[in-house]
Amino acid sequence: MFASIERVPGDAILGLIELFNQDNNPNKIDLGVGVYRNSQGHTPILQSVREAEALLLTRETTKAYIGSHGAPDFAQHMLPMILGEQSPVLAQQRASLTQSPGGTGALRIAHDFISRCLGTDRRVWVSNPTWPNHHAIIKAAGLTSAQYRYVDEHNQLDFSGMLEDLQQAQAGDVVLLHACCHNPTGFDLSQAQWQQLLELIRERQLLPLLDFAYQGFGDGLEEDAYAVRLFAEQLPEVLITASCSKNFGLYRERVGAFVAIAADATQMETIRSQIAVVARANYSNPPAHGSAIVATILGSQELSTLWHDEVSQMRQRISHLRHSVVDALKPHGLDQQFTCFTEQRGMFSYSGLTPEQVTHLQKEFGIYMVSTGRMNMAGLTEHNLTYFSQALAAVCR
Q: Is 246 considered catalytic here?
A: yes
Among candidate residues 112, 165, 246, 307, the one labeled active-site is: 246
Q: Which residues, in sequence order, are CB contacts of 187 under 8 Å at separation 6+?
A: 150, 151, 156, 157, 343, 344, 350
Per the CB < 8 A criterion, the answer to whether 246 and 221 are in contact is: no
Q: Which residues, in sequence order, are CB contacts of 128 under 8 Å at separation 6+?
A: 147, 148, 149, 150, 151
Per the CB < 8 A criterion, the answer to whether 85 and 344 are in contact is: no
Q: Is 131 considered catalytic here?
A: yes
Per-residue DSSP letter, 151? B
Q: What gap in Å lies between CA 240 and CA 370, rounded to an integer?
A: 27
Task: Say which amino acid occupies 109.
Answer: I
Among candidate residues 173, 211, 224, 307, the one labeled active-site is: 211
Q: What gap in Å lies between CA 204 and CA 368, rounded to an integer?
A: 41
Among candidate residues 131, 165, 173, 188, the one labeled active-site is: 131
Whole-Å CA distances, 266 to 72, 96, 270, 273: 19, 12, 7, 11
Catalytic residue ranges: 131, 211, 246
